[in-house]
Structure 1
Amino acid sequence: MDEGSSSSSSAPKKMDFNERFKMLHKMRQTTRKENHEQVVEEDRRSKLPKNHEAKKQRDQWQVQELEERKAAEEKGLDYERVKALELSADVTEKLEQKRKRKKNPDLGFSSYEDMTLRQHTRLTAALEPDLDNYKKMRECVGGEQFYPTADTLIHGSHYPTTSAMDKLVGDVKGQVKRREQYHRRRLYDPDAPIDYINEKNKKFNKKLEKYYGKYTEDIKEDLERGTSI
């Protein structure tokens, strides 16, 4: 009786052990498979270009923008206006400044020819032609004098209006004033007191004078008076 009961009790234990062994073996296979998949994925990512993620995000953003633009057109709305209304004022201002810099980038000084071309482009972009006076001048002059060729002598055939001459004079005066202000920032005053040891210290002292100069006037006067005595 005891032997039968002991054998019957050991059978479930043996079955329980087999079940646990199978479960552990299955978990081990699953873990090994997951580790292998992770290794393969890491190897695939390591072989991708460095800018892959950024390019992927940019592509997703472009697709989303196309979908939003299409939805706005279907509703009869201006996409740029709708997008601008969703942005804050400071973000809109930064985007506008970025657009202007991209349209007219400041490349610095490279040559006098490039500088002249940039000046010409800036001046012509600010022109506001008077179409009424243009039409009147075309009717008065006409012919080859109005549409000259390389062999046409046009001296004395064009008579600018008073408003056009005043506009030209004002523009030239404005250029002169801006040029003077531009160079004035770079003038060197030999009589100015030297209170710096190098250029970096000079700029630092100018910043201190700008923000704290009015609070330290008395101290500086006392120090200069004591030095002179």
Structure 2
Amino acid sequence: MSSADVDGGAGSSSSQPGLLGKNMSAKEKYAERMKKLRDLHMKRNEARKLNHKEVVEEDRRNKEPKNEEARKRRAEYIVKEEELKAACLAAGKDWEIEKLRNLSAEDAEALERRKNSKQNPDSGFSNFEQATFRKYQGLVKQIKPDMNHYESQKDKMGEAFYATSGSVVQGKQKDSADAISRMALDVQKQKEKREKFSRRRRHDPDADIDYINERNMKFNQKLERFYGEYTKDIKDNLERGTAV
């Protein structure tokens, strides 16, 4: 066997741990182990740097506001939109038309829904003026106009139909019996609705008294409302005296 064959066998054995002690000298084995140790140290240091970088980045994200990413996307969108707007104006194009051309049907529908949701928002009761106005809007939406009657009244009254500060309209228009009946029926419905609604619930004299004061009564009512269906059997057994 030639020396080249021996060297070739030694070179191939460096990648085979099983033949490491057979074909390599002690110096070569030491150098190979040191090389592997240096590789492990380099990988460990690299992993430590990456881990530290991720920790720093996570700490930065935690310290940022929760809507920071949304604010960044919004800022990028505004900058991009301003650039497109400037380009359209420089080219002599209408920016609103160009913007609608690049808007998809889904985005247009979502934009329309958001716009409609902001119209006439019901913010609850704030004062009697706004409550009365909302009531008026609800009643107006229920009205179904009779266009034939509208046109006939318009021809009959002439200029007085669109009354001004100096117009005399007394005696020129008379409410129909059907309109008076509808108004009376609506007033009666409102009255019945108000009678049914009451913030303070009426006292039931036939109900069992299981409270010592009004505050305790409210607390027991809340317990019954939330846990009554789960404790009904226990309560019945206690009343019958059969509870274990």
Work out whether the TM-score is over 0.5: yes
Query: What is residue 200 of structure 2 aligned with on the other side?
Result: 186
Which amino acid is 1:178 matched to? K
Deviation string for 1:203-229 (max 9, x for gaps)? 4359859987xx98xx79xxxxxxxxx
Alignment CA distance shift 1:142-1:46 (3 Å) = same
State the alpha-carbon separation in 2 of the partners of residues 47 and 206 from structure 1: 41
Instruction: Name the SS for the 1:133 alignment partner.
Output: helix
State the alpha-carbon separation in 2 of the partners of residues 207 and 14 from structure 1: 79
Query: What is residue 70 of structure 1 aligned with on the other side?
Result: 104
State the alpha-carbon separation in 1 of the partners of residues 124 and 106 from structure 2: 38
The answer as to 2:33 corresponding to 1:17 is: yes
State the alpha-carbon separation in 2 of the partners of residues 37 and 9 from structure 1: 42
The answer as to 2:182 corresponding to 1:167 is: yes
State the alpha-carbon separation in 2 of the partners of residues 181 and 122 from structure 1: 20
The 5 Å alignment of 1:74-85 reads none
Consecutive unaligned residues in structure 1, runs of 5 or more: 1-7, 59-68, 81-98, 221-229
Which amino acid is 2:59 matched to? D
Query: What is residue 35 of structure 1 aligned with on the other side?
Result: 51
Of residues 16, 38, 42 in structure 2, which corresponds to 1:26? 42
Instruction: Name the SS for the 2:25 alignment partner.
Output: helix
Which amino acid is 2:144 matched to? E
TM-score by length of 1: 0.57
Alignment CA distance shift 1:127-1:197 (3 Å) = farther
Give the root-mean-square deviation of aligned CA atoms.
4.3
Decide which moves more: 128-137 or 43-52: 43-52
Query: What is residue 223 of structure 1 aligned with on the other side?
Result: none
The answer as to 2:147 corresponding to 1:131 is: yes
Decide which moves more: 113-122 or 172-181: 113-122
The 5 Å alignment of 1:45-64 reads 45-52=61-68
Instruction: Name the SS for the 2:168 alignment partner.
Output: coil
Decide which moves more: 48-57 or 172-181: 48-57
The answer as to 2:122 corresponding to 1:105 is: yes
The answer as to 2:181 corresponding to 1:147 is: no
Which amino acid is 2:104 matched to? K
TM-score by length of 2: 0.54
Which amino acid is 1:175 matched to? Q
Quote the offset at 1:27 in angstroms: 0.6
State the alpha-carbon separation in 1 of the partners of residues 132 and 49 from structure 2: 69
Query: What is residue 6 of structure 2 aligned with on the other side?
Result: none
Which amino acid is 1:107 matched to? G
Instruction: Name the SS for the 1:50 alignment partner.
Output: coil
Decide which moves more: 120-129 or 146-155: 120-129
Query: What is residue 158 of structure 1 aligned with on the other side?
Result: 173
Residue correspondences, number: 175
Quote the offset at 1:134 in angstroms: 1.1
Quote the offset at 1:159 in angstroms: 1.7
Alignment CA distance shift 1:141-1:48 (3 Å) = same
Alignment CA distance shift 1:45-1:198 (3 Å) = same
The 5 Å alignment of 1:180-219 reads 180-183=195-198, 186=200, 188=202, 195=209, 196-203=211-218, 204-205=220-221
Quote the offset at 1:42 in angstroms: 1.7
Quote the offset at 1:44 in angstroms: 2.7
Give the structure with higher Rg (CA).
2
Instruction: Name the SS for the 1:142 alignment partner.
Output: helix
